[in-house]
Amino acid sequence: MKAVAAALGLIALPLAAAKVSYKGYQAIHIDTADDLAHQGVAKALKGLNYVNLGCGGESDHSGFDIAVAPDSLSAFKKLGLESKIVREDIGADIDAEGDITPYVSMRKDNGSGALPDIAYFDSYHDFEGHLQFLKDLSAAFPDNSEIFSAGDSVEGRPLQGIHIWGSGGAGSKPAIIWHATVHAREWITAPTVEYMAYKLIEGYQNGDETPKATLDNYDFYIIPVVNPDGFVYTQTEDRMWRKNRQERDGARCVGTDVNRNWPHKWDVDGGSSPDPCAETYRGEEPGDTPENAALRNHTQAVGEANGIKFYVDWHSFSQLILLPYGYSCSAEADNIDQQMKLAGGVAEAIKGVNGLNFAYGPTCETIYQTAGGSNDWVFDIAGAELAWAFELRPQGGGSGGFAIPPDNIVPSGEENWAGMLNLFAAF
Ligand code: 0X9
Ligand code: ZN
């Protein structure tokens, strides 16, 4: 009965007990310029029960955070690394994310033309809910949008997106492409881009100046969950899963980092890992994940048709706007001055909403070296004018990191939408 009621969207079922419990795991910031993937610190941590949480400097983005299991805390302390506890109990943060609310067409009415209920953004949702929300969004703007799939994941799930266009008709203008949730645990990213898609359509329908002008001049392609298998896995098995769910012959570990798999500067030393057990495992060959193939082919096709004005790969967390390049700290994008100027305007607009600081700059200098990352490929190979990655709220692991309460969703959507409006007005 409860299941039936839940299926009808009447009640929220608690998230099925995750197999991995993070109860009592401490988030610890290790103060070092090294990236855990390929430096000595990883060796020191060998044998400990911990998860790599990636970059997490509160103010200068130095070092990285790990989540250490209760049974490894004393062994960790004995290592004597320069470090500090930034969060006492990740299990409690995961509990505070609340129930995964089933979403079944929360349309304001069942007639065409009505936008979905904004209450969708009050909680986190399962993969099916994300698929349905996007369909409802498209149904509210039937003459100017369509649902598409860029291709299928390893386990056969669609990389579903919404294509939205303006007065010129479908596919007639340069593209704005947004990808989110390539890293499965970065939950805030999908609802943030969905919120912005909602605002774009709402603004266009209301005749608001910037959404109207932008949509009349650009075709939007927005894919909120580009790593669906990983995302489902974070809800059923392990909240802190990052990679896709691809198995490899002879490898003991599962998963490739799809954001180290793009076939451009793919194995530049220091920007990824050849180890299938690493969180930044690049794959065996450039572009050998089904997810990357799908995203690459879609991006290439759209780029060849009308060009790409602006690409964003939405990540969390750290509050950053990252520009090309990731693969090298000495390579410089030819239009870097223009990109920096625009990013500065976006950061200021974001700050104006809820006061949050987003730092910005070339990826390699601002966060760390990344090889085979999306924005380098989209900039150099697909020829986008602007190819960025965002790291959304919070600023550090001390504020919850990947697991933040759902009342962050609307503020995250609002601040980034203000950032986007600032950018669109500057195009
Ligand atoms: O390491 C990453 O892939 C991103 N940081 S995260 O903590 N979300 O994992 C940074 C990626 C920035 N660059 C590209 N998208 N290429
Ligand atoms: Zn990420």
Q: What is the DSSP letter of 117?
A: P
Ligand 1 atom having least distance to the Cα of 313: 15
Ligand 1 atom having least distance to the Cα of 262: 16
Higher pLDDT, 58 or 379: 379
Record the pTM.
0.93
Ligand nearest to the CA of 320: 1
State the distance from the centre of ligand 2 to the C-alpha of 109, rounded, in angstroms: 36
Higher pLDDT, 63 or 214: 214
CB of 271 shorter than 6 A to ligand 1: no
Q: Provide the residue ranges of all domains of the chain, joining segments of one domain with +.
A: 24-88, 103-233+285-426
- CATH topology match: 24-88 vs 103-233+285-426: no
Q: Please say if the pLDDT value at position 246 is more than 70.
A: yes
Where do the H-state alpha helices sit in 97-163?
Answer: 127-139
CB of 315 shorter than 6 A to ligand 1: yes
CB of 374 shorter than 6 A to ligand 1: yes
Q: Could you check whether the bond before residue 124 is cis, i.e. omega within 30 degrees of 0?
A: no
Q: Could you check whether the bond before residue 394 is cis, i.e. omega within 30 degrees of 0?
A: yes
Cβ contact 311:220 at 8 Å: no
Ligand 1 atom having least distance to the Cα of 376: 16
State the distance from the centre of ligand 2 to the C-alpha of 314, rounded, in angstroms: 7
Q: Please say if the pLDDT value at position 181 is more than 50.
A: yes
Q: Span 354-370, mean pLDDT?
A: 96
Identified catalytic residue from 186, 194, 279, 391: 391
State the distance from the centre of ligand 1 to the C-alpha of 259, rounded, in angstroms: 7
DSSP 12-35: PPPPPPPSS--TTPEEEEE--SS-
Lookup: tokens for 188: 């805030």
Give the N- to C-terminal CA distance of the chain in Å, as an integer: 53
Lookup: tokens for 337: 């001055």
Q: Tell me the C-alpha distance between 297 and 30, whole Å.
A: 38
- Per-residue burial over 330-361, b if 16 or more Cβ lie within 10 Å, else e, is ebebeebeebbebbebbbebbbebeebebbbb
Higher pLDDT, 190 or 83: 190
Burial class (CB in 10 A: 0-12, 13-18, 19+), 119: exposed
Amino acid in position 145: S
CA distance to 35, 108, 208, per residue, from 47 (Å):
18, 53, 57
**391 given a catalytic annotation:** yes
Q: Span 237-248, mean pLDDT?
A: 98
| Mean pLDDT, the chain, whole residue set | 92
Q: What is the pLDDT of residue 286?
A: 98
List, for residues 130-161, the tens digit of each pLDDT value: 999 999 999 999 999 999 999 999 999 999 99
Give the H/E segment covering residue 189: helix 189-206
Q: What is the pLDDT of residue 3?
A: 41
Q: Tell me the C-alpha distance between 117 and 228, whole Å.
A: 23
Pick the CATH number of 103-233+285-426 from 1.10.10.10, 3.40.1350.10, 1.10.357.10, 3.40.630.10: 3.40.630.10
Q: Span 67-71, mean pLDDT?
A: 97
What is the CATH code for 24-88? 3.30.70
Q: Please say if the pLDDT value at position 87 is more than 70.
A: yes
Pocket test for ligand 1, best of 29, 52, 55, 379 (most atoms within 8 A of CB): 55
Q: Please say if the pLDDT value at position 107 is more than 80.
A: no
Lookup: tokens for 64: 């990285």
Q: What is the pLDDT of residue 288?
A: 98
pLDDT bin (cut points 50, 70, 90) of residue 183 is very high
Q: How far is C-alpha 346 from the chain's CA centre? A: 18
Q: Please say if the pLDDT value at position 42 is more than 70.
A: yes
Q: What is the pLDDT of residue 44?
A: 86
Q: What is the pLDDT of residue 108?
A: 55
